[in-house]
Amino acid sequence: MCLECKRYIKEGDSVSQFDSICEVQSDKASVTITSRYDGIIRKLHYNLDEIAYVGKPLVDIEIDASKGVSPEEDVVETPPMSHEEHTHQEIKGHKTLATPAVRRLAMENNIKLSEVVGTGKDNRILKEDILNYLAKQTGAILPPSPKGEIIPPLPKSETVPAAPKDKARKTPLPVSRPLVFSGKDKTEPITGFHKAMVKTMSAALKIPHFGYCDEIDLTQLVQLREDLKPLAQIRGVKLSFMPFFIKAASLGLLQYPILNASLDESCQNVTYKASHNIGVAMDTEQGLIVPNVKNVQVCSVFEIASELNRLQALGSAGQLGTNDLTGGTFTLSNIGTIGGTYTKPVILPPEVAIGALGKIQILPRFNGKGEVFKAQIMNVSWSADHRIIDGATMARFSNLWKSYLENPASMLLDLK
Ligand code: CAO
> Does any ligand 1 atom lie closer than 6 A to the CB of residue 337?
yes
CA torsion through residues 280, 285, 288, 289, sign: negative
Q: Which letter does DSSP use for residue 51 in this model?
A: B
Indicate if 414 belongs to the active site.
Answer: no
Specify if 166 maps to a domain: no
pLDDT tens per residue across span 110-169: 788 878 888 887 788 888 888 877 776 654 433 333 333 333 333 333 333 343 444 444
DSSP for 327-369 reads ---EEEE-GGGT--S-------TT--EEEEE---EEEEEE-TT
Indicate if 45 belongs to the active site.
Answer: no
- Are residues 350 and 239 located together in one domain of the fold? yes
CB 341, CB 359: distance < 8 Å: yes
Cα separations (Å) of 89 from 77, 93, 128? Answer: 20, 10, 18
> Does any ligand 1 atom lie closer than 6 A to the CB of residue 378?
yes
Nearest CA to ligand 1 atom 17: 240
In the prediction, which pLDDT does 241 show?
A: 98
Nearest CA to ligand 1 atom 13: 240
Residue 399 CA to ligand 1 centre (angstroms): 22
- Are residues 260 and 151 located together in one domain of the fold? no
Interatomic CA distance for residues 184 and 193, integer angstroms = 26
Specify if 196 maps to a domain: no
Q: Residue 279 sits in a domain of what CATH number? A: 3.30.559.10
Residue 10 CA to ligand 1 centre (angstroms): 38
**Closest among 344, 356, 401 to 209, alpha carbons compared:** 344
- Are residues 146 and 274 located together in one domain of the fold? no
Full domain range(s) for residue 217? 209-413
In the prediction, which pLDDT does 336 show?
A: 98
- Are residues 152 and 217 located together in one domain of the fold? no
Final residue before a domain boundary, out of 122, 140, 156: 156
Interatomic CA distance for residues 276 and 2, integer angstroms = 32
43 SS3 class = strand
Which pTM value belongs to this model? Answer: 0.69
Residue 334 CA to ligand 1 centre (angstroms): 6
- Are residues 255 and 320 located together in one domain of the fold? yes
Domain tally, the chain: 2
In the prediction, which pLDDT does 181 show?
A: 61
Interatomic CA distance for residues 106 and 45, integer angstroms = 30
- Are residues 358 and 225 located together in one domain of the fold? yes
Residue 25 CA to ligand 1 centre (angstroms): 25
DSSP for 129-149 reads HHHHHHHHHHSPPPPPPTT--
> Does any ligand 1 atom lie closer than 6 A to the CB of residue 282?
yes
Q: Residue 47 sits in a domain of what CATH number? A: 2.40.50.100
In the prediction, which pLDDT does 94 show?
A: 47
> Does any ligand 1 atom lie closer than 6 A to the CB of residue 336?
yes
Interatomic CA distance for residues 242 and 85, integer angstroms = 34
CB 259, CB 384: distance < 8 Å: yes
> Does any ligand 1 atom lie closer than 6 A to the CB of residue 359?
yes
Annotated active-site residue in 45, 194, 209, 386: 386
Task: Please list the ranges in the chain whose pLDDT falls under 50.
Answer: 2-4, 68-73, 80-94, 139-169
